[in-house]
Amino acid sequence: MAAPAMEGAAVTALRSVLYRVRQAAEKSGRRSEQVRVVAVGKTKPISLIRQLYDAGHRCFGENYVQEIVEKAPQLPEDIEWHYIGHLQSNKVKSLLAAVPNLAMFESVDNEKIANHLDRYIANNGRKPLKVLVQVNTSGEASKSGVEPSDCVELVKHVKLGCPNLEFSGLMTIGMADYSSTPENFRTLTNCRSEVCKALGVTEEHCELSMGMSGDFEQAIEMGSTNVRIGSTIFGPREYPKKQVN
């Protein structure tokens, strides 16, 4: 009996998030349309995602390959899916085959995964896939992502060596307790400056994906164009006893 109320709460929470995004964008001198909200349905049922879809939202994300592979085929084709987790190269085929409407791969963290994505797309006639290069700005060993000092080199590989990938910008995940988040966001902003200088492109052509449920307003104020919101919209995550990626 609790499900309908919970689903209604998710739609209400999404509207609240969109309002807060608009406020933060205006504070940073931008329009809310310049910030993309990715609703991350990690561990949540398809019915909740469908509720947000019916309310007009179209951009959703997952960071476990088995979840997006299961959910995407059961949901409308005009959803713009973002994959935001670390992906092993042997899972590239299952991800791209099951999710033809994957709009962006946010977590290119090494040349190997870039090469596998590029090769699969070339061999299967997909249009080029938008990708973000993930940077480990917090220096935590548990986090995926290239070191900031190696960011330009990986971006160049994607841009020059992977013709079926469309380099779209940079992504980071801050510290779990958000204690050094401004520093993390500043590091990603600095990486963008270096990348744009090396490639000869303007910063408007290099997205920054940073900010999650606990820090998305600050991230937007510091220049984020893409925020990934999970628990603030969907409620606390419900992990099974054993989670296998």
Domain CATH code at residue 177: 3.20.20.10
Name the region of 42 (left: φ>0; alpha: ψ -120 to 50; beta: rest): beta
Better pLDDT: 39 or 43: 39
* CB-based contact 51:77 (threshold 8 Å): no
Is pLDDT above 90 for 176? no
Residue 235 located in a structural domain: no
Residue 147 located in a structural domain: yes
Is pLDDT above 70 for 3? no
Tell whether the torsion through CA atoms of 137, 233, 1 and 68 is positive or negative.
Answer: negative
* pLDDT score recorded for residue 240: 64
Residue 20 located in a structural domain: yes
Could you tell me which residues come within 8 angstroms of residue 77 by beta carbon, excluding any fewer than 6 positions away?
A: 100, 101
Residue 30 located in a structural domain: yes
Average pLDDT of the chain is 92
Least confident of 169-183, 190-204, 211-225: 169-183
Cα–Cα distance, 42 to 63 (Å, whole number)? 7
Is pLDDT above 80 for 111? yes
* pLDDT score recorded for residue 180: 65
Q: What is the pTM of this model?
A: 0.92
Cα–Cα distance, 73 to 95 (Å, whole number)? 11
Residue 140 located in a structural domain: yes
DSSP 32: G
Residue 201 located in a structural domain: yes
Better pLDDT: 98 or 175: 98
Q: What does the pLDDT look like over 115-156, one tens digit per residue?
A: 999 999 999 999 999 999 999 998 888 888 999 999 999 999
Domain count along the chain: 1
* pLDDT score recorded for residue 94: 96
Is pLDDT above 90 for 10? yes
Least confident of 1-10, 74-83, 178-187: 1-10
Is pLDDT above 80 for 159? yes
Shortest CA distance to 32 belongs to which of 168, 173, 221?
221
* pLDDT score recorded for residue 244: 47
Structure tokens at 157: 């590989």
Range of the domain at 148: 9-229
Residue 93 located in a structural domain: yes
Give percent of the chain with pLDDT exceeding 90: 83
Q: What does the pLDDT look like over 209-228, one tens digit per residue?
A: 999 999 999 999 999 999 99
* pLDDT score recorded for residue 237: 79
Better pLDDT: 49 or 138: 49
Could you tell me which residues come within 8 angstroms of residue 40 by beta carbon, excluding any fewer than 6 positions away?
A: 60, 61, 62, 63, 84, 228, 229, 230, 233, 234
Residue 85 located in a structural domain: yes
* pLDDT score recorded for residue 84: 95
